[in-house]
Structure 1
Amino acid sequence: MTVQKGVGFTRRALLGAFAATAVTAAPTFANASGFLRGGGDVRRIRMYSGRTGERLDTIYWIDGEYIKDAINEINYFMRDWRTNEVKEVDLRTIDIMTAAHNLMDVHEPYMLLSGYRSPKTNAMLRRRSGGVAKNSLHMTGKAADLRLSSRSVHQMARAAAACRAGGVGRYSRSNFVHMDCGDVRTWGA
């Protein structure tokens, strides 16, 4: 790309240039280590939290490299909002979320219901609900509970399961999907 004097480049134009190269640079194999179908050469995550009122829209991976500052922002955003504890979120979980979002071809940000949960928060939630696992992957930064108003739980779960990279739980009554980077499995209705 050449830059001409007097010509301004918008963020959208820059992303378009990256996207154009992604088609030719993307691997042709689907299950290679470190690559999830739908991830692309530029990985961007968009989320908001109804609990904190915060919004996140960041490119966290470009051309095979994670961007440390963006990952730190994601870790903070996905913190346990009840205790304000921050834990490193497993990068594979972020990649699964991004790949599923891309497969659904939506621009709407995810609503994050739950990212990292401290053991204290997880124990409190277990006392209130039978659907919270004692050894939840949320406590290790390997899971997220997400919602999209423009897609059904079924559509979100299908997109996440298509990544074949972790666990996908459908919680239709509560209108959210659990995505994690643990064993490949599905559950719920």
Structure 2
Amino acid sequence: MTEICSSGLTRRALLGAFAATAVIAAPTYSNAAGFLRGGGDIRRIRMYSGRTGERIDMVYWIDGKYIKDAVKEVNHFMRDWRTDQVKGIDLRTIDIMAASHNLMDISEPYMMLSGYRSPKTNAMLRRRSRGVAKNSLHMQGKAADLRLSSRSVSQIARAASSCRAGGVGRYSSSNFVHMDCGEVRNWGR
């Protein structure tokens, strides 16, 4: 008989999630697309925000299903910290971030510089910088700007590009990589 935990997860799925934290699987760049198509049984995201001091390290997908409460926490974590507005982050973006992280075979969490941006925040940033798009995918909850201290911009961008699932921008002078679930494209140095 299958036991259901109070979170709605089966005991088997919960044990699988715990087992995944103990076993490190290091897929190669060649299986990135398979990961995004559901090749993995468990998906995990690790990030921290230097702006808010918050951290997140959680399994958000098990056995072909997104965990509703985990996704809700990711959405809150990736909110516009300036306005405290929360928007649903496109699950494809979260998957690209998680797959890229997994491909680099590291445990260090991403430092998230920007997730969702309200139109007000995006307009303010556009006034300060030429590099902010007027119709940024950040405003749709479809993009994230990320950094790792243990990997170069080039290494992070290569991992994200190997997923062939969205846009990847290199911002070497600012030491971050933009990942989104829009059209497949690359830019920057």
Range into which the TM-score falls when normalised by the shorter chain: 0.7 to 0.9
Residues 167 and 144 (structure 1), Cα distance of their counterparts in 2 relative to 1, 3 Å cut: same
Amino acid at match of 2:96: I
Give unpaired runs (5+ residues) of structure 1: 1-10, 24-28
- Deviations 1:154-180, CA, capped at 9 Å, x for gaps: 000000000000000000000000000
Cα distance in 2 between the residues matched to 1:150 and 1:41 = 27
Name the counterpart of 2:153.
Answer: 153
Name the counterpart of 1:84.
Answer: 84
Give unpaired runs (5+ residues) of structure 2: 1-13
Name the counterpart of 2:19.
Answer: 16
TM-score of the two chains, using structure 1 as the length reference: 0.84
Name the counterpart of 1:128.
Answer: 128
How far apart are 1:36 and its partner, in Å? 1.5
Where does 1:19-168 land on structure 2 (aligned, <5 Å)? Answer: 31=33, 35-36=35-36, 40-168=40-168
CA RMSD of aligned residues (A): 2.6
Q: Please identify the structure whose Cα radius of gyration is greater.
A: 1
Cα distance in 2 between the residues matched to 1:183 and 1:37 = 17
SS of corresponding position for 2:102: helix
TM-score of the two chains, using structure 2 as the length reference: 0.84
Name the counterpart of 1:170.
Answer: 170
Which one has the bigger helix percentage? 2
How far apart are 1:16 and its partner, in Å? 2.6
How far apart are 1:17 and its partner, in Å? 6.0
Percent identity between matched residues is: 77
Name the counterpart of 1:6.
Answer: none
Q: Is the 8 A contact 2:17 2:42 kept in 1?
A: no
